[in-house]
Amino acid sequence: MRCRRWPLGMTSARFDQFIRSLEAAARREGLSEWDLRLKGSSAEFFSGYHKKMVWTRSEVLEIFRGERDRLPESDELDEILRALEQAWPTTTRPTRRPFDALYVARISEEPSDYDLQVSSDEIIDRARSKIAELGESPADVTVMSATYNFVRKDIIDDVCPFLRLWAIKQTSIHRRLVTIAVFPSAGPPNRVSTVGPLSSHFRQTDWRLLELEADRL
């Protein structure tokens, strides 16, 4: 992961297959340009500053309810807290959430996912055209998610069906969710949350997986 050879949770062979099949899906979509980056804890080990690691009983209880949509049993909380104490003594605890930490601690039923960030004006144009076909104004507020500034996923499923099928298959292969967030070619805006910078905007340290240009297709 540190050498950008393959991300956490994958082998070298699986990562090669991941990239080859992704480029094939892009070709099927007829895309001529995009910038693709791997974001999140699989590429950085830690999640963004807005995803804090939980340590206290009340913190574990709250995140457990959010992840599993139910209340835990008292002995479940005890077991989780014991596991956290054994893995991370109080003097060396991270503040940000490590890759798969909630899953290994049995707080979440799902492992960490693979977050792919696609920046492409070509896909943005397709999304706006689709909204216009439905008789609505293709304004940014209609196309983009207000919270994260990416194209709403139901539109991407419609205008990029091969990417959708690719993500579904890769989710099954790797047994962890593969998500795709689409932004304009300039990338997502540089946003800062109340707890620190978000990791979605372009950075020199980003893991750039694949760039498509017209002369390569």
SS3 per residue for 10-70: CCHHHHHHHHHHHHHHHHHHCCCCEEEEEECHHHHCECCCCCECCCCHHHHHHHHHHHHCC
Percent of the chain with pLDDT over 70: 90
Record the tokens describing residue 163, joined without a space: 């990417």
Residues 6 or more apart whose CB falls under 8 angstroms from that of 197 comprise: 48, 49, 190, 191
Q: What is the pLDDT of residue 194?
A: 52
Q: How far apart are CA 30 and CA 162, in angstroms?
A: 10
Q: What is the pLDDT of residue 217?
A: 39
The low-confidence residues of the chain, meaning pLDDT below 50, are 214-217
Q: What is the pLDDT of residue 211?
A: 66
Q: How far apart are CA 7 and CA 19, in angstroms?
A: 12
